[in-house]
Amino acid sequence: MERRGTSRKRDEAAFLAEYDASRYPRPSLTVDVALIQVEQGRIRSLVRKRGGHPELGKWGLPGGFVRPDESLDEAAARVLREKTGWMRVFLEQLYTFGRVDRDPRTRVVTVAYYALVDAGRLIKAEDSAMQTEWAELVVPWDGERGGTVDCRSADGHRLPLAFDHAEILGMAVRRLRGKLPYAPIGFELLPRRFTLRALQDIHEAILGHTVNKDAFRRRLLASGLISATGVRETGVGHRPAELYRFARGDRETKS
C-alpha cells in the first residue's frame, strides 16, 4: 500500500513536470469592479474615461488583469486599492462575463465584482489624475428583471460605457435588489452612525420604489441588526432622529 502510494506520487510529479499549459488556448482574464454608493436617492458608480484604445473616450469600470500569484478576490481588492487607495471595503464577486467579442483586442473574460462604500467617500476619488466620475445609474427596468443601465454625469449628460460595462452595472443593481431585503448590505452604504430614515432612503434608491415606513422601522428594530446609540442627529430643521449603528460583525473598527 505504501509503495503504491509513493509511486503514484512520483507519477503525479512526473506528470506535472511535463504539463504544458499552452496546449490549450487561454483567454486573457481580468477583474472589473462596480464601485457603488448611494446618495440623495441616487445610485452612483465610479467610472473613468478611457484614455486609450479600444473604446477610447468611453467610460469604463476600474479593472485590470489577474496576476498569476493572486486569487480573484485579491485581484479585485488590488484593483480597488490601486484606483482609489481604499482598503477594507465590502467587495463581493458578482458574475463572470465571457462573450466572445466583448473586447476587440483579444478574447478577454472578466470576473466582475461589486463594492459598496458610503457617500462620505465621495471626495477622495475625484481628485485622482484620471478623469473620474461618480456617475448616476439610471435603471430602465423593474424589480430583478435585469438588463443594462444608463450612466449619467452630475450635469445630466449620458456617459457612454465601454465594452459590456452597462451590463455589468445592470447585474450589480440586480444583485443588490435581490440581496437587500434579507442581507445586511445597506449598512455598507452608510456611515457608521445613521438614522433609520437614511437607511430607508438607501433601500428605496436601490429597489427603485418606496417602502412602507412603519413596517420598515418595525422590521429593522426587531431584527437585532442595529442598536441605538443614544445620540441624535442635529441641525435638521425638525425633530431629530435617533442615530443607530450596525450591531453585527467587526464594523466597530471602521472609523
Partner DNA sequence: TGAATAGTGTCTATAAGACAATATCCC
Partner DNA sequence: GGGATATTGTCTTATAGACACTATTCA
Residues that bind DNA (CB under 7 A): 195-197, 211-215, 217-219, 232, 234-242
The torsion region of residue 55 among left (phi > 0), alpha (psi -120 to 50) and beta comes to left
Q: Say which entry of DNA, its own copies, none residue 153 contacts (CB below 5 to 8 A, set by partner kind).
A: none
Q: Binding to its own copies (CB under 8 A): which residues in 70-129?
A: 70-73, 75, 93, 95-100, 104-107, 109, 111
Residue type, 163: F
The DSSP bridge partners found for residue 36 are: 45, 116
Task: Compute φ and ψ for 175, nearest 5 degrees.
Answer: -65, -45
CB 20 → DNA: shortest distance, Å?
Answer: 56
Q: Which does 217 bind (CB under 5 to 8 A by kind): DNA, its own copies, none?
A: DNA
Binding-site partner at residue 241 among its own copies, DNA, none, CB < 5 to 8 Å by type:
DNA
Query: What's the sign of the alpha-carbon dihedral 175, 178, 184, 186?
Result: positive
Binders of its own copies in range 9-38 (CB under 8 A): 11-12, 15-16, 19, 21, 24-29
Would you say 13 or 138 has its CB closer to its own copies? 13
- Closer residue to DNA in complex, CB, 70/242: 242
Q: Could you give the residue ranges of the DSSP H alpha helices within the chain?
A: 2-18, 72-84, 122-126, 165-179, 196-207, 213-223
